[in-house]
Amino acid sequence: MKREQIRNVAIIAHVDHGKTTLVDQLLRQSGQFRENELKGDCIMDSNPLERERGITILSKNCAIGYTDRAGHHYHINIVDTPGHADFSGEVERVLKMADGALLLVDAVDGTMPQTRYVLGKALANGLKPIVVINKMDRPEARPASVLNEVFDLLVDLGADDHALDFPVVYASGRDGWASLSPTERPKFIHDLFDSIIKYVPSPNFDAHAPLQVLITNIDYNDYVGRIGIGRVMAGTLKVGMNILNIDIHGKRVPQTITQLMRFEGLGRIDVDHIDVGDICAVVGLSKVDIGDTLADPEHPRALPPVHVDEPTIHMTFRINDGPFSGLEGKYVTSRQVRERLEKELQSNVALRVEDGQSREEFEVSGRGLLHLGILLENMRREGYELCVGKPKAIFRNEGGKKLEPIERLSIDVPSTNVGVAMQLVGDRRAEMIKMDVRDKRTYLEFMVPARGLIGLRNRMLNATSGEAIIHHRFEKYDTYRGDMPARPQGVMIATETGGVTAYAVEALANRGTMFVSPGDKVYAGQIIGEHCKDNDIDVNVAKLKKLSNMRQSIKEATISLKAPRDMSLEIALEYIEDDELVELTPKSIRLRKRYLSENQRKRFSRGRPVA
């Protein structure tokens, strides 16, 4: 494959603006696949969690062989990236593999917080965007206004004249068409292919220079071990070649390439060499990590490592020391949890892991609650048992001032709910920077401390009957803005270990909302419900109805119980306070107090040492 025929393009956008759906259409209309080879929607979202949640979590590569309408053949490497701000570390490292970017913007929502972030990263890497105004099939589409928003955003980000002269494509990923005019509706997506070929430059590297390959992703195979995925930045990579692996710390390890694979369609094919500028998978490296450079042994020169922004949220991971420990999971020891976290560090570049206050604890830092929540969900599905504490913001001290992470928060709510939305956010030390009325809905933007977002989503959805659309992304570090309001309600704590009874639940119905159902197993110290007042109370939810030998003159009335509140992982992490933990097992998500004994909790509340 000649260098002039290669195009490397990354697809970037805010979450839910249609990246993966558009990639589906590019694959279907490339002419490379039979109809039965591409089944279902969101073909690139192969991870079970991605399909369940409807979001892209991991960046993925595919390659399309496309023949244009003039008969010229091209090899287009496409990198699909996550749109959620918590996974922006994936975006940062894969942009090194691209020469151009498709910036997707929703024809109704316009530019959103993550649009600003991914566009800023693309400009920092010297990529000129092709703006794709997607979802043009929506009846309320406003392409002209959205185009102006994109231009204003580029100016705000300091783009040069070359970037400001961007091409525009109007598309509908769901209906499978793309056009250069907002009024035309062709039946195919060829205009988007043509724009990629015309405006994304071919790799401009030296094929005769000493070898340099930048590793930006890691895959693993049970048979061949670690597979490094990267891009040839100089020279030519060949099977059997001796290379020098230079890691981010400068350590050099001589190795030999045993197998090379080139991306073709949704898979990979074996090749004997990879030309400069192309993306490949390298097999046979005993140790390779993200950011490493594969260099010529005679002229070893390392490439600049991938820079990733620092985490803003941290949580305490610890072993499960509750009464039900080991009943549902396979991996329960601190050594097993440590090994799993170390394995995650090899591919999750935005994650940080440090030792905690004891041997059983680890301080894990990430980009946000969803970032860490996905890690926890994967661990519990793999058979791990552990407890996690309340998410907390990572503070800094500069010049004697305490700084905290500030996030740009966008909320799209019905106009009738603007008041309650502003009140909820205002209580969390937020500052409004934008308010825009769009038909029957209102778009609000705030600058809010990252710790103010913990627990906000669930309360906002409850206050707006589930109609609020919330997005946020890290903006900057700024002066500490003061204390945040605590959870307004207390909790009900089980005093006995055993099975939950309907008799006990009925007696507690007026005390608050339950988190458990009759028949569930609970233990002393577990949080079984939310109290209707602001204090915690101890209750016996396993209490049995005492039997007697006295006959009753009437039949016992049928007990009708309210359904318990379903606590998902993210909701549970947002709900807990400093003295509480979320217990995760492959089958259960439980809330508990950090100290299970009532006497220990009293000593802790009085500031006394707890044994």
Can you give the pLDDT at residue 491? Answer: 93
Q: Which amino acid is at 563?
A: A
Give the span between the Cα atoms of 243 and 260, in whole angstroms. Answer: 13
Tell me which residue has tokens 């290669």. Answer: 6
Give the span between the Cα atoms of 403 and 395, in whole angstroms. Answer: 6
Sequence-ordered list of residues with C-beta below 8 angstroms from that of 236, at least 6 positions apart, any chain: 207, 211, 273, 274, 275, 276
Can you give the pLDDT at residue 317? Answer: 94
pLDDT at position 308 over 80: no
Q: How many CB atoms lie within 10 A of CB 571?
A: 16
How do strand 361-366 and strand 537-539 relate by DSSP bridges?
A: unpaired
Give the span between the Cα atoms of 600 and 611, in whole angstroms. Answer: 8
Domains and CATH numbers, the chain: 3-199 (3.40.50.300), 212-295 (2.40.30.10), 396-479 (3.30.70.240), 491-546+559-605 (2.40.50.250)
Q: What integer best gives the mean pLDDT of the chain?
A: 85
Q: 113-124 and 143-156 are packed helices; what angle lies between their axes, rounded to 10 degrees? A: 50
Cβ burial, residue 490 (10 Å; 0-12/13-18/19+): middle
Query: b vs e for 142-163, b when ≥16 Cβ sit within 10 Å of the residue's Cβ?
Result: bbeebbebbbebbeeeebeeeb
pLDDT at position 39 over 60: no
Give the span between the Cα atoms of 137 and 133, in whole angstroms. Answer: 11
Tell me which residue has tokens 């091409």. Answer: 167
Can you give the pLDDT at residue 58? Answer: 63
| Mean pLDDT computed over 343-362 | 85
The pLDDT tens digits for 383-416 are 999 999 999 989 988 888 899 999 888 888 888 8
The pLDDT tens digits for 501-531 are 988 998 888 899 999 999 999 999 999 999 9
Q: Out of 74-88, 233-247, 409-423, pick the least confident.
A: 74-88
Give the span between the Cα atoms of 390 and 401, in whole angstroms. Answer: 25
Percent of the chain residues topping a pLDDT of 70: 91
pLDDT at position 114 over 90: no
3-state helix, strand, coil in the chain (%, to 5): 25, 35, 45
The pLDDT tens digits for 541-582 are 998 887 776 666 555 556 677 888 888 888 898 889 888 999
Report yes or no: 520 and 499 within 8 Å, Cβ to Cβ.
yes
Residues forming a β-bridge with 242: 256
H or E stretch at 373: helix 369-381
pLDDT at position 286 over 90: no
The pLDDT tens digits for 483-506 are 887 788 899 999 999 999 988 998
Q: What value, to the nearest 5°, has the Cα angle with vertex 393 and ends 391 and 394?
A: 125
| Mean pLDDT computed over 86-101 | 77
More confident residue, 36 or 208: 208
pLDDT at position 609 over 60: yes
- Of 169, 121, 177, residue with least CA distance to 143: 169
Tell me which residue has tokens 């691209």. Answer: 98
Sequence-ordered list of residues with C-beta below 8 angstroms from that of 74, at least 6 positions apart, any chain: 5, 6, 7, 65, 66, 67, 68, 197
H or E stretch at 571: helix 569-575
* The token pair that represents 70 in the structure block: 């003039």
Give the span between the Cα atoms of 522 and 494, in whole angstroms. Answer: 7
pLDDT band at 61 (very low <50, low <70, confident <90, very high): confident
Report yes or no: 104 and 22 within 8 Å, Cβ to Cβ.
yes
pLDDT band at 2 (very low <50, low <70, confident <90, very high): low
- Of 144, 185, 172, 197, residue with least CA distance to 30: 197
Can you give the pLDDT at residue 53? Answer: 60
Sequence-ordered list of residues with C-beta below 8 angstroms from that of 59, at least 6 positions apart, any chain: 79, 80, 81, 82, 90, 91, 93, 94, 217
More confident residue, 346 or 311: 311
Q: Which whole-number Å values give the CA distances from 494 to 515, 519, 527, 568, 611, in the listed order?
A: 11, 14, 6, 20, 21
Sequence-ordered list of residues with C-beta below 8 angstroms from that of 148, at least 6 positions apart, any chain: none
pLDDT at position 32 over 60: yes
| Mean pLDDT computed over 347-372 | 86
Can you give the pLDDT at residue 492? Answer: 94
Specify the pTM.
0.79
Sequence-ordered list of residues with C-beta below 8 angstroms from that of 546, at least 6 positions apart, any chain: none
Identify the DSSP state of 11: E
- Of 584, 217, 564, 164, residue with least CA distance to 384: 584
Report yes or no: 259 and 284 within 8 Å, Cβ to Cβ.
yes
| Mean pLDDT computed over 445-459 | 86
Tell me which residue has tokens 């260098």. Answer: 3
Can you give the pLDDT at residue 35? Answer: 61
**Over the Cα atoms of the chain, what is R_g?**
27
